Structure 1
Amino acid sequence: MIQHLDVDGVPTLLAPTGGPMHAGLTFRVGTADETLGRAGITHLLEHLALAPLGLADYHVNGSTAQVFTTFHTQGSGADIAAFLTAVCGHLSDLPLARLDVEKEILRTEWSSRGAAATDDIPLWRYGARDYGLTSYPEWGLGALTADDLRQWAARWFTRENAVLWIAGGQVPAGLRLALPAGTRQPVPVASSALPRTPAYFVGGSRAVVLDSVVRRRTAASVFAGVLERELYRSLRQDAGLSYTTTTGYEPRGDGYASLRALADALAEKQGAVLGGFVDVLAKLRVGRIDQADLDATIAKREDFLGIAEIDAARLPSYALNVLTGEPNLGVDEYRAELKAVDLAALHEVAGEVMASALLMVPGRLTADWAGFVAAPTHSTSAVYGTTYTSREGSGALRIGDDGVSYLGSDGVLTIRYDECAAMLAWPDGARQLIGSDAIVLHIEPTMFNLHSAALPILDAKVPADRQVAMPARAPEAIPQPKTAGRPPREPHVRSWWEVPVLVVSWVAVVLVGGFFLLFTLGMLTTETEPGDEWLWGAVVVGWLLTVILALPIVLLRRRRR
């Protein structure tokens, strides 16, 4: 049974364990609480709190997720007390001497992180804000100051915004959680960058990935297990198309949960995997769900509930529910909800999954044939302002009082200043604006005929806390128009005979052309006598002669150009 206690004003959860004692201090703050222009501040605070501890003789770790930050340790009671007491002390009095070093460590950590198939899902669903920020680098690190960190810690790392959980017999002696007073912070409200769902986008991975948002409930978590079994049977066992077929179910803290599914594919099998994946979704959507899959999934969950240390195993998720205010079920209550899940409940969840579905398809594939609409990659309108042409002849940039637009042959990209999540600024003048809807507009001064006042307008309009200074680029990394670098043409030198030829040609054209112009007008205004039809032939010959006399003028002009 999980006990509810209090340690220095921090809600504390205690459950017995037969294994090594372990504990975690979890705060209700994560990447979703940040902004893109200051992304990385929570992760940096986590590192600063752990940095002075050095290499411990027992397990210690920290992690920053979308809405939670946790400090975890395993060891003796004395070790746990020393670790958590030190972490709280460092959060209250930040070891800022390590600030620059930890920034570099975080940059290295990001650069060495491998790409995952699901990395881009958040930005396509949520945009460049709240839950979508996990798709972006920690661009805010460079500008963060000591005052920024102190203010962030004072707001989020407080005793009212924390939960301590301990798997062990008792609260370790000597444990002190010296955290400042504050308030419990609600989870952020989820945004959306999708005008319509179900939707799809083309990803850079070979995998097919489904992302849905469903109501948080036991039936939805069971559905994730049933979907995984169906994908495994259909795409791996029967068709032999995929090796990895997995699903995940992660509560968001606001009464909803993210439900994901993935199936990998060889390059030449991507179309077949996509088709099989969609077929599985369609089968579940119409209610063709195998009772055996439901029974097997529930049995697996009941096996977990039957382990001897189930209360200790539930502590981390139990603590998260305490922080977000979501209900915590007892083991018997959860077991009863499992038994109540039937095929009709799963059919209902399948409808929620498809209604909110975002599908990532590989390569050049599409999913409109399956009823999915393409997620937007362009804006619906452009701003009013001054238009600057491209130096390559295609596209134009428009800078106005409300925002910036790029007018391209394939559509419009618009970032309004009040919807700009971040603007990356390079010393050479390049600017990259990222809208809250994840639309990206890149401006290279070398590629547009910009007025000298154009870039200062951007810098003045975008708020300072959304501007990110980027390192200088090597000259060869700065793009140049395609015409740049070509050797200049040799100027044309006029030959001695060109002027006389031009003069003679012009005089001849004027005299001959003028004569036959008058002759033609006379023929048109008088009646032709019988036998004088040959005069019209003379008119034709005269005009042909005029054209021939004008040829030197045309040819010499073309030669000069």
Structure 2
Amino acid sequence: MTTLHDTEVDGVRCFWVDTGRPTLAARLAFRSGIADEDITESGWQHLIEHAALDRFPRGGTVDINGHVTLTDTAFDFHGDGADVGEHLARLTRWLAAPAFERLDHEIGVLRAEADVRGSSPLARALSWRYGARGPGLAAYAEPGLGRASQDELAERVGRVFTVGNAVLILDGPPPPDLRIELPAGDLRPLVEAVPVESPPAAYEEGSGIVVSGTVPREGPMFVGVEVLQRVLVERLRHEEGGAYAPWTNYERVDRETAVVTAGSDIRPELTAGIVDTTLGLLDELAAAGPREEWVTETVDRIVRGMRDPYAAIGVAMGAGMRYLHGREPETLDQMVERVRATTVAGLAEGFGQVRESVLLGAPPGTDAQRRLRMLQFPRTAPAASGRAFRSINWPADTSRLRLADHAIQVSDEQSAIEARYDDVVGLMVHEDGARTALRADGYSVTVDPRVWTDGHRAVDEIDSRVPAARHLPHPPLPGDAPQRAGLLGRWWPAVRRRLSSPRATYVGVLGLYLLFAVGFVGSMIKFGGGPTGIVVIALVWGAVAVHRALREGLADSS
């Protein structure tokens, strides 16, 4: 029987279970994570976690790790009980008086980590739903790192890493001489996750098929995701033979809401029908729920894992994280009871909630737009005022960069994409001189001064319009530098475009007819006779007929 103990160590709430092991595993967690940052400070929590652990010797007798999730930051230690206690004391002494002697070094390490890690399908799904705020920040490569300073980081540490905002989790009794030295502070509430899109909808996803939807956090769908993975493996891998590794995820994004996400690689021969297959599966699960035997087997497997003596620390982990998230901690019996309460009907309701709030990432080559509204950059009418910049390849490229009073716009002849200055949450200041204005909804407008005539003046004006606190140092744009085409390359496409337009066709055909008429009349005169009245009337009538036909065709094409 695993007994959950609830106590305090120097004012820090502590949950522990006695596993009887000769070593001690400890986690000191704090209620602040990726979703608590904004884009201009994204990566600071991760940077603090790295800096805090940088002072411990590498390859010592204590296993050390740290991580930052959407909602929390945690430090893990495992080893001899006395050594773990000393490491916790050393960590908290640093958190009480942080110093960042190797700040540039740690920033470099994190940027290298971001390059290796890249963006995952799960992170992109969160970004499509939440934009460039809250959980959506998981999709960005921590662009706020370039703005981090020692003073601002120290202020963050003093505000977040406090007694009231921490929980200590152990798999054995607290060492008698354990000391936690943290400043006073209160538990920080979870930030509400606010969507920027209205589901159901779809977007293009290159990794395969991805579906996500929101459900109540306290509902049964933490079990449902396990059943869903089995459903996907059975259908896509064993029946269709078109996938290797379907996956699912259950992510708590705030106090009331969790996001269920699932996805899979897809073989090319299944691509055309994968949208119908995926939505059909969700519809089936929402209508009738999963197979009852699958639910029973999944529940039994989860409960068996909970009761495994080797996994007993999971009880303390669950209780500790519920406390950090403002919920009542649960004992093992309460955890098991909640899992056992899962029913087919309850999961059907949960899958219905996923279906109603679904965002579907579909690979290229599907017809997702036939089933769902496709998410794309909203377009607006081009501004009538503001400073305009032509492409360096005008007139072949007729697009315009316009810096209006309210926004940055890039437009063609019909419409524009824009980033309003009051909605720019971050301005990426690229090393090659380019600027990317990131909107709160995650869409962005990039201005490369090498693409526009007098582009450096445009960049200077953008820099002055966006507050300096939102400027984010960023690597160069990928790819080769844009090149200006030669004289023929710039003008010949424009001439061809003019010649192929309906108006040019109108003028050309009418001109050819008139040329024919003049030539015909001239020939009659040359060979001894002027045009008769009937011939003149016929030629005029023909000219009028050609004019009317071409004018109607021109009107139809406009």
Residues 328 and 376 (structure 1 numbering): CA distance in 2 closer, same or farther, change over 3 Å? farther
Alignment partner, residue 212 of structure 1: 213
Residues 415 and 486 (structure 1 numbering): CA distance in 2 closer, same or farther, change over 3 Å? closer
Mapped to 2, the partners of 1:218 and 1:302 lie a distance apart of 17
- Report the residue type matching 1:396 in the other structure: R
2:5 corresponds to which of 3, 6, 9: 3
- CA deviation after TM superposition for structure 1 residue 484, in Å: 7.6
Mapped to 1, the partners of 2:78 and 2:409 lie a distance apart of 53
- CA deviation after TM superposition for structure 1 residue 368, in Å: 3.1
- CA deviation after TM superposition for structure 1 residue 53, in Å: 0.7
Alignment partner, residue 20 of structure 2: 18
Mapped to 1, the partners of 2:342 and 2:4 lie a distance apart of 26
Alignment partner, residue 547 of structure 1: none
1:255–1:326 Cα contact (<8 Å) kept: no
- Report the residue type matching 1:325 in the other structure: G
Report SS of the residue matched to 1:52: coil
1:263–1:273 Cα contact (<8 Å) kept: no
Alignment partner, residue 181 of structure 2: 178
Report SS of the residue matched to 1:374: coil
- CA deviation after TM superposition for structure 1 residue 108, in Å: 1.5
Residues 452 and 263 (structure 1 numbering): CA distance in 2 closer, same or farther, change over 3 Å? closer
Q: CA RMSD in A?
A: 2.9
1:218–1:338 Cα contact (<8 Å) kept: no
1:16–1:309 Cα contact (<8 Å) kept: no
Report SS of the residue matched to 1:446: coil
Residues 329 and 478 (structure 1 numbering): CA distance in 2 closer, same or farther, change over 3 Å? same
- CA deviation after TM superposition for structure 1 residue 132, in Å: 0.6
Mapped to 1, the partners of 2:137 and 2:9 lie a distance apart of 33
Q: Any residues of structure 2 matched to 1:329-340 within 5 Å, and which?
A: 329-340=330-341
2:272–2:365 Cα contact (<8 Å) kept: no
- CA deviation after TM superposition for structure 1 residue 379, in Å: 4.0
Alignment partner, residue 203 of structure 1: 205
Alignment partner, residue 508 of structure 2: none
Q: Any residues of structure 2 matched to 1:152-551 within 5 Å, and which?
A: 152-168=156-172, 170-194=173-197, 196-205=198-207, 207-287=208-288, 289-308=290-309, 311-370=312-371, 372-380=372-380, 385-392=386-393, 393-408=397-412, 411-426=415-430, 429-450=433-454, 453-470=457-474, 477-483=480-486, 534=530
Return 5+ residue gaps in structure 2 as ranges.
493-527, 537-558
2:217–2:258 Cα contact (<8 Å) kept: yes
Return 5+ residue gaps in structure 1 as ranges.
490-531, 541-561
Residues 485 and 79 (structure 1 numbering): CA distance in 2 closer, same or farther, change over 3 Å? farther
Residues 447 and 138 (structure 1 numbering): CA distance in 2 closer, same or farther, change over 3 Å? same
1:45–1:91 Cα contact (<8 Å) kept: no
Deviations 1:359-414 (A, max 9, x none): 111123232333x2212323456656333332332321221222212113685322
> Comparing 102-111 with 87-96, which one deviates more in the overlay?
87-96
1:89–1:179 Cα contact (<8 Å) kept: yes
1:44–1:102 Cα contact (<8 Å) kept: yes
Alignment partner, residue 31 of structure 1: 34
1:430–1:443 Cα contact (<8 Å) kept: yes
2:319–2:331 Cα contact (<8 Å) kept: no
- CA deviation after TM superposition for structure 1 residue 419, in Å: 1.3
2:38–2:134 Cα contact (<8 Å) kept: yes
TM-score normalized by the length of structure 2: 0.82
Mapped to 1, the partners of 2:325 and 2:413 lie a distance apart of 47
Deviations 1:138-161 (A, max 9, x none): 222222111111111111111111
- CA deviation after TM superposition for structure 1 residue 223, in Å: 1.9
1:125–1:193 Cα contact (<8 Å) kept: yes
2:191–2:254 Cα contact (<8 Å) kept: no
- Report the residue type matching 1:183 in the other structure: D
Residues 387 and 163 (structure 1 numbering): CA distance in 2 closer, same or farther, change over 3 Å? same
Report SS of the residue matched to 1:118: helix
> Comparing 386-395 with 98-107, which one deviates more in the overlay?
386-395
Mapped to 2, the partners of 1:167 and 1:248 lie a distance apart of 26
Report SS of the residue matched to 2:85: helix
Report SS of the residue matched to 2:483: coil
Report SS of the residue matched to 1:421: strand
Residues 9 and 485 (structure 1 numbering): CA distance in 2 closer, same or farther, change over 3 Å? farther
2:26–2:76 Cα contact (<8 Å) kept: yes
Report SS of the residue matched to 2:220: helix
- Report the residue type matching 1:444 in the other structure: D
Q: Any residues of structure 2 matched to 1:11-90 within 5 Å, and which?
A: 11-19=13-21, 20-55=23-58, 56-90=60-94
- CA deviation after TM superposition for structure 1 residue 125, in Å: 0.9
Residues 466 and 185 (structure 1 numbering): CA distance in 2 closer, same or farther, change over 3 Å? same
> Comparing 293-302 with 406-415, which one deviates more in the overlay?
406-415
1:228–1:246 Cα contact (<8 Å) kept: yes
Mapped to 2, the partners of 1:535 and 1:150 lie a distance apart of 98
- Report the residue type matching 1:378 in the other structure: P
Mapped to 1, the partners of 2:149 and 2:487 lie a distance apart of 41
- Report the residue type matching 2:258 in the other structure: A
- CA deviation after TM superposition for structure 1 residue 329, in Å: 3.0
Report SS of the residue matched to 1:447: coil
Mapped to 2, the partners of 1:406 and 1:534 lie a distance apart of 60
Structure with max Cα Rg: 1
Mapped to 1, the partners of 2:169 and 2:315 lie a distance apart of 10
2:389–2:400 Cα contact (<8 Å) kept: yes
Report SS of the residue matched to 1:235: helix
Residues 285 and 488 (structure 1 numbering): CA distance in 2 closer, same or farther, change over 3 Å? closer
- Report the residue type matching 1:129 in the other structure: R
Aligned positions, number: 493
Mapped to 2, the partners of 1:324 and 1:368 lie a distance apart of 38
Mapped to 2, the partners of 1:104 and 1:457 lie a distance apart of 30
TM-score normalized by the length of structure 1: 0.81
- CA deviation after TM superposition for structure 1 residue 485, in Å: 11
- CA deviation after TM superposition for structure 1 residue 232, in Å: 1.8
Deviations 1:50-92 (A, max 9, x none): 1111212221101011111000011111111111111112222
1:158–1:181 Cα contact (<8 Å) kept: yes
Deviations 1:111-166 (A, max 9, x none): 22255333321211110111111101122222211111111111111111111111
1:111 matched to 2:124? The reply is no
Report SS of the residue matched to 1:300: helix
Residues 291 and 472 (structure 1 numbering): CA distance in 2 closer, same or farther, change over 3 Å? closer
2:273–2:366 Cα contact (<8 Å) kept: no
2:123–2:139 Cα contact (<8 Å) kept: yes
- Report the residue type matching 1:31 in the other structure: I
- CA deviation after TM superposition for structure 1 residue 190, in Å: 0.9
> Comparing 404-413 with 339-348, which one deviates more in the overlay?
404-413
Mapped to 1, the partners of 2:94 and 2:398 lie a distance apart of 55
Alignment partner, residue 145 of structure 2: 141
